[in-house]
């Protein structure tokens, strides 16, 4: 072990007032650029350890089948969670008594035409960050914004959570488009981008179903356009990735109430056709 009882006492004392005290250590570790936490139980939180002495923590870890050196990682995770982070700190450096009307994230959501009740489940955040939001009871972007304002400026978050915070704080269109179905140069969120995000995920069909339910008006408008002879492929051309565009079309197809023409292979022609004897 590299850590000392003094280091443990310092970090556990500081963490006692953190709002993250009941957050699973695995989730905290996933949102930091440090060591992973091997104990995957949702009940394995900082609260389980911070009332124990250094030796008692070591003993508990060993009873859980872990090496005593794991306390080094525990101290790192707690310390880095509490560490002051300048970009995030700039965003949350507001009065603790500030009302939701003064929340910069809520203001920027309104400015961008992004509804506060948009579901976190339809964002492109990583699985670990989605789990973190779920554990904290954050189901919408509005709840995400309020939670961010209520956090102490001494609490650090990383990964996609921090990326979305900074994207909304600084209105970064490129970062917003990576995390949300946001269309650069336009306001609001959109069905096509939501289905494109679904096409990049491992649970594409479920996400596509949720997207078509949430963007119902856009789906109806798209069906009218297709019924009038429009092209479904053209809707996704701005995505700029042919493989994702094709997968997105296939994910959207079952939710459309208008018939789409089947994709046909182009006929071989010219010299190759003559060589193979096909026309």
79-105 pLDDT, tens digit each: 888 764 334 444 444 434 444 457 889
pLDDT in tens, 160-201: 888 898 899 889 999 999 999 999 889 999 999 999 999 999
Q: What is the spatial distance between Cα 114 and Cα 96, in angstroms, rounded to a whole number?
A: 25
pLDDT in tens, 243-264: 999 999 999 999 998 876 665 5
The pLDDT, as a whole number, for residue 98 is 45
Averaged pLDDT, 214-231 = 93
Which of 202, 204, 221, 175 minimizes the C-alpha distance to 194? 204
Lowest mean pLDDT among 7-16, 27-36, 189-198, 199-208: 27-36
How many CB atoms neighbour CB 276 within 10 A?
9
| Mean confidence (pLDDT) of the chain | 83
> What's the predicted TM-score (pTM) here?
0.60
Q: Choose from 12-21, 109-118, 127-136 the range with maximum mean pLDDT.
A: 109-118
The pLDDT, as a whole number, for residue 34 is 77
Is 205's pLDDT higher than 70? yes
The pLDDT, as a whole number, for residue 54 is 93
The pLDDT, as a whole number, for residue 48 is 92
- Please classify residue 262 by burial: count the beta carbons closer than 10 Å to its beta carbon, then call 0-12 exposed, 13-18 middle and 19+ buried: exposed
* Interior/surface letters 84-99, b for 16+ CB within 10 angstroms, e for the rest: ebeebeebbeeeeeee
* Chain position carrying tokens 């306001």: 187
Averaged pLDDT, 216-222 = 95
The pLDDT, as a whole number, for residue 272 is 44
Averaged pLDDT, 115-142 = 92
Q: How many Å is the Cα radius of gyration of the chain?
A: 24
Is 56's pLDDT higher than 70? yes
Compare 16 and 117 and report the one with higher pLDDT: 117
Indicate the angle between helix axes 141-150 and 159-170, nearest 10 degrees: 90
Is 69's pLDDT higher than 50? yes
Percent of the chain with pLDDT over 90: 51
Lowest mean pLDDT among 24-38, 44-58, 94-108, 220-234: 94-108
Is 75's pLDDT higher than 50? yes
Is 271's pLDDT higher than 50? no
The pLDDT, as a whole number, for residue 109 is 94
């Amino acid at each position: 072990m590299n850590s000392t009882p003094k280091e443990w006492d310092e970090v556990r004392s500081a963490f006692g007032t953190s709002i993250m005290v009941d957050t699973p250590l695995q989730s905290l570790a996933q949102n930091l650029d440090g060591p992973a936490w091997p104990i995957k139980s949702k009940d394995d939180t900082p609260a389980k350890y911070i009332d124990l002495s250094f030796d008692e923590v070591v003993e508990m870890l060993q009873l859980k089948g872990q090496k005593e050196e794991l306390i080094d990682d525990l101290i790192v995770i707690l310390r880095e969670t509490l560490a002051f982070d300048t970009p995030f700190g700039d965003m949350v450096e507001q009065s603790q008594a500030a009302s939701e009307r003064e929340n910069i994230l809520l203001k920027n959501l309104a400015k961008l035409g992004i509804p506060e009740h948009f579901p976190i489940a339809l964002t492109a955040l990583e699985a670990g960050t989605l789990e973190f939001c779920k554990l904290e009871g954050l189901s919408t972007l509005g709840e995400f914004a309020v939670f961010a304002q209520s956090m102490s400026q001494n609490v650090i978050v990383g990964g996609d959570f921090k990326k979305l915070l900074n994207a909304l704080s600084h209105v970064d269109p490129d970062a917003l488009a990576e995390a949300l179905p946001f269309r650069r140069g336009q306001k609001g969120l959109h069905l096509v981008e939501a289905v494109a995000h679904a096409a990049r995920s491992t649970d594409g069909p479920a996400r596509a179903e949720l997207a078509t339910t949430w963007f119902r008006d856009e789906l109806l408008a798209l069906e009218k356009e297709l019924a009038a002879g429009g092209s479904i492929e053209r809707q996704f051309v701005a995505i700029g990735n042919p493989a994702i565009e094709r997968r997105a079309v296939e994910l959207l197809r079952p939710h459309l109430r208008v018939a789409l023409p089947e994709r046909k292979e182009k006929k071989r022609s010219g010299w190759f056709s003559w060589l193979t004897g096909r026309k």
